[in-house]
Chains A and B, each alone.
Chain A
Amino acid sequence: MKKTRSRNTVILVGLIILLTLAACNSGGQSAPASESTTASESTPTSQSDQNNRITEKTTITVWVFGPTEGRRAGAEWLVENFKDVNPNVDVVLQYEDFASFSTKLLPAVAGGSPPDVLLNSGTNTFQLAHYEYLEPLDAYIERDGYPVGSIAESFWTDASYYNGSRYTLPYGAFTYNFIIRPETFEAAGLSAPTDWKDLPEIAKQLTDGDNSMWGLHLTNYPYYLYQVWKSWDADMTLVREENGKKVPGFVSDKVIEATEWYLNLFKVDGVSPPTTPTDIDGQIPAMWISGQVAMSVAGVPIWTTMFDEQDVSYEMIVPNPLFTGPEGMGHYSDVQCMVIFRDIPDMNKEAAWAFISWASQGEGAYGNMLRQGSIPLDVEAQDLLLSEKKTYQYYVDSINTATWASSFEPGAQNTMLNRGGHAFQTLSSAWRGEMTAEEFVHDLARVLQEELDEFYGQ
C-alpha cells in the first residue's frame, strides 16, 4: 500500500513536470493570430470618410492610465462624441492607475488579452513596440492622412517612432513650466530668476519670517535634476564609447557640480523639502516648477496646477530661460499617446483606428488643443507653441535615461523606462542619506549601464 502510494505520487509529480514543460515550451508553438489582419490587408483601395466608417456593430476596450478627475472627464467626452460620428462602435473605458502598468497591463499583454486601445504616456510605447505587441500605424496614416504639422511632428516624433515605424497618435502633452506669484515678487522688489544659480538667494528673500510660504517648491521628481543638468553650464555628453561599448557619458565634473547644487538646494532656507505636489497643500510657494500644466483632452483641462482651487494668482512662464538647454528652447515632455494592440483575436482594428484618429485630431483632443489654444499659457508661449519655425526637443518626464538611451538607437529611450526610472528614483531618495552627489552620479551611471547591458543582452 505504501509502495503504491509512493509510486502514484512520483507518477503524478512527473506528469505535472511534463505538462508544465509542454505548456512552457515557448514562442514557436504559440498559436498565430490567424484571425487578425494587418493594416495592409485591411487597407481599402480608396480614401474613406473617417466618420461612420464602421458598418458593423463592434465594441472596443480602451484602457486609460492615470484616472484623474480631469482625465476621466476628457476620456468620457471623447467616447460620447465619438459615438455620434461612429454609432456602431461601442467604446468601453477602463481606468487604471499608473502602477498597474507593470502589474496589470504587461501581464495582460504577455497573456494575449490586452485592451484594443491604450491611452497612456508615450514613455511606455517603445517597450511594447520593441516586443511587437503594437500595431504599426503607418499604413493607416498613409491611407487616411493625419495632420502632421510642425508642432505635432516635433514633439510627437520621439513618442511615436520605433525602428522606422509609427506606433502612436498623440492626444496631449505636458510641458514644464516655471511658475511665479507675481505679487510676492513685487512686494519683495524682485524679478523672476533667469538662471538656476539665482534660485537659492531669491527663494530666501521671498520667504517670509513665519515660514508660511516657501520661496521655492521643488518636487522629488528626478526629471527636475535632469533639467538642471541640461541647462547648467555643462557640456554634458550623454554617451561615449569605451572599449567598443557605449557607456553613460554624463559622469563629468560639471554634472557632479550640478547635482551637488541641486542636492544642497533643499537645505536652503525658503526651499521646501522635496515632496510630491499634494504634500505642499496649504503652503503655497512663491515659485515652483510644475510639469503637469497645459494638458487638456478635448479642451477639458485634465491636469492643471495644484493651486487652481486656491485663491492665488500666478503666472506661468514658458519657456523660461531656466529650462532652455543647448537647443535654446523650452521643453515638452511626456506626450500622452494612444496605441493599438495587435494580434488580438476578433479585434476590429478599423474601429480602434477610427477611435484614436478621431480622438487625436478633428474634434478630438489634440486638434482641439491646437486650434483652441486651450493650453493656459501666456500669449508669448502660445505663439511659440504654434510657431512653425521652431523645433522642440522632446524629453520624457520622470526619467533621465530617455535622451541618453536614444543615443544608442532611435526611439529606444523608453524601453529603459521602468528600470532606469526606478533606479533613478531609488537613488534620488538616498540624497538625504549618506550618499554624496558624486556617489549619486556614479551610481546612476552604473545602474543605467547594467540596465542597458541587460536589455541589449550584453
Chain B
Amino acid sequence: MLAPLLFVLGLLVLAPLCVTLIYSFTDANLLKLRQGFHFVGLNNYSDMFTNELFSLILSNSLVYSLVSTVAAMLFGLVSALCLNMKFKGRGIFRAILLVPWIIPSAVASLGFKWMFHGIYGIFNAILLTMGLITEPILFITDPNYALWSVCLVTIWKATPIAMIMLMGALQGVSIELYESARVEGASKINQFRYVTVPSIKPVLFSTTLVLFLWILNFTDPILIITNGGPSNASQIISSYAYYLGVNNQRLGSASAFSVFSLLITGIIISITTRRSEVDV
C-alpha cells in the first residue's frame, strides 16, 4: 500500500538526491555530458574545502541565515502578539502584514533592487532628505553592505511566516493561565515571560528551525539583487552552487557544495531534534 507513495517520493526526492551525490564524485560538466564524465573521488570536496572563497561563503551563509532568522522571528513574534489583541481593523492589519509572503520573491527582489539603487533608490532619497547621510549609500554594490541588504529582503519575506505560525500558537494559550497570572500580580512582561513563552516554546522552536533551514537555501534575493557580489560579499553556499552549476556548467563542483549544504542541514536537524527529545 505504501509502495506507490514510496515510489513517487523516491522519484521526486531520492532520485535527484542520488544524482547529486553521484555527480559530486565526478567531473560532470553540463556541456560535456555527451562525452562522458569520470569518477574523481573526493576531488570536488577537497577543492571545495581548499577554495579560498570557502570560508567566506560559509561565514556568509551562517550570518545570512542566523541574522535573517532571528530578526524574522522577533518581528514575527511582535506582530503576532499585536495581532493577538483585539482592536478595530485587526483583520486589515493582518492582511497587510501578510503581503510580503504573497508577493513572489522574484518580484519583491526586483523591487528592492531598485529601492537599494545607489543613485535613484528610494532608501537613499529618504535618508538624504532626512539628513541622516550626506552621500548615497551603495547598498548592493559596496561589499560592506551587500550581505546586509539581502538579509533585509529575506527578513521582510520571512516575517509573515513566523507571524502566522506564532499567531496560531498564541491563540492556543489558555486564557485562564493569564488570568491566574494577573491574580498573582504578574506584570505584562512577567506574563509574557512565564506564561506566553513556555506555552508557545515548541512552536517557537520548530518555527525557528524551519525558518533557518529555509533561509539557508533561500537564494532569490541574492541571485536577483547582488548575484553573490560584489566580489562574493553576498555569496552563500546555495547561490555559489547555482553559480558553479548553471553559469559554469560544473555539475560535479556544484553537487559537492549542494551535498555539503545538505550535510549542514542534516546535522542541524539531528542536533535540534535530539535536544528537543531530551527536553521532553
Question: Which A residues form the contact surface with B (CB < 8 A)?
Answer: 5, 8-9, 12-13, 16-17, 19-21, 24, 26-28, 30, 102-103, 106-107, 109-110, 127-128, 131-133, 273, 275, 279, 418-419, 422, 425-427, 429-430, 432-435, 454
Contacts and interface: CB of A to CB of B under 8 A. Distances in A.
Contact of B32 (A5, A24, A131, A432): A131
A426 to B, nearest CB: 5
Contacts of A13: 10, 14
Contacts of B138: 432
B207 interface: no
A127 B120 CA distance: 38
- In the A-B complex, the 6 residue pairs with the closest CB atoms: A27-B36, A429-B230, A26-B36, A430-B231, A433-B143, A131-B31
Interface stretch (B1-9, B86-94, B100-108, B124-132): B1-9
B248 A16 contact: no
Nearest to A23: B19
A114 to B, nearest CB: 11
A418 B29 CA distance: 14
Given A8-B3, A24-B19, A427 B30 contact: no
> Which secondary structure dominates chain A's binding surface?
helix
Contacts of B11: 16
27 contacts: A12-B3, A12-B6, A16-B10, A16-B18, A17-B18, A19-B15, A20-B15, A20-B18, A24-B19, A24-B22, A26-B34, A107-B30, A109-B31, A110-B33, A131-B32, A132-B34, A133-B31, A273-B119, A418-B247, A419-B248, A422-B247, A427-B231, A429-B230, A430-B233, A432-B138, A432-B230, A435-B231
Nearest to A430: B231
Nearest to A343: B34
Contacts of A275: 119
Contacts of A127: 31
Contacts of A102: 246-247, 249
A199 B99 CA distance: 49
Contacts of B119: 273, 275, 279
B267 to A, nearest CB: 21
Given A26-B33, A434-B143, 15 more contacts: A8-B6, A16-B18, A19-B15, A21-B22, A26-B36, A102-B246, A106-B30, A106-B31, A131-B34, A422-B243, A429-B231, A430-B143, A430-B230, A430-B233, A454-B250
B35 interface: yes
A426 B231 contact: yes
B37 interface: yes
A435 B144 CA distance: 12
Contacts of A454: 250
B22 to A, nearest CB: 6
Nearest to A127: B31
Nearest to A425: B229
Contacts of A434: 143
B118 interface: yes
Contact of A16 (B15, B231, B232, B250): B15
A307 B251 CA distance: 43
B34 A27 contact: yes
B6 A9 contact: yes
Contacts of B208: none
Given A102-B246, A106-B31, A273-B118, A8 B36 contact: no
A426 B229 contact: yes
Contacts of B143: 430, 433-434
Q: Which of A12, A107, A435 has the most CB of B within 10 A?
A: A12
Interface residues of B, number: 42
B179 interface: no
Nearest to A415: B31
Nearest to B16: A20
Contacts of A30: 34
Contacts of B6: 8-9, 12
A275 B117 CA distance: 10
A20 B34 contact: no
Contact of A5 (B2, B15, B231): B2
Interface centre among A275, A419, A426, A454 (most CB of B within 10 A): A426
Contact of B141 (A21, A107, A432): A432
A16 B8 CA distance: 11
A26 B33 CA distance: 7
B229 A429 contact: yes
Nearest to A28: B36
Interface string B134-165: 00001001111000000000000000000000
A357 to B, nearest CB: 27
A433 B247 contact: no
A273 B138 CA distance: 11
A432 B144 CA distance: 10
Nearest to B245: A102
A4 to B, nearest CB: 10
Residue with the greatest number of chain B CB neighbours at <10 A, chosen from A103, A131, A275: A131
B144 A433 contact: yes
B18 A27 contact: no
B230 A433 contact: yes
A426 B246 contact: no
Nearest to A128: B31
A128 B31 CA distance: 8
A140 B247 CA distance: 33
Contacts of A425: 229
A324 B88 CA distance: 71
Nearest to A27: B36
A234 to B, nearest CB: 25
A102 B29 CA distance: 13
Nearest to A435: B231
A260 to B, nearest CB: 18
A384 to B, nearest CB: 37
A110 B2 contact: no
Contacts of B23: 24
Contacts of B34: 26-27, 30, 110, 131-132
Contacts of A279: 117, 119-120
Contacts of B7: 12
Contacts of B249: 102, 106, 110
Contacts of B32: 131
Contact of B37 (A12, A26, A427): A26
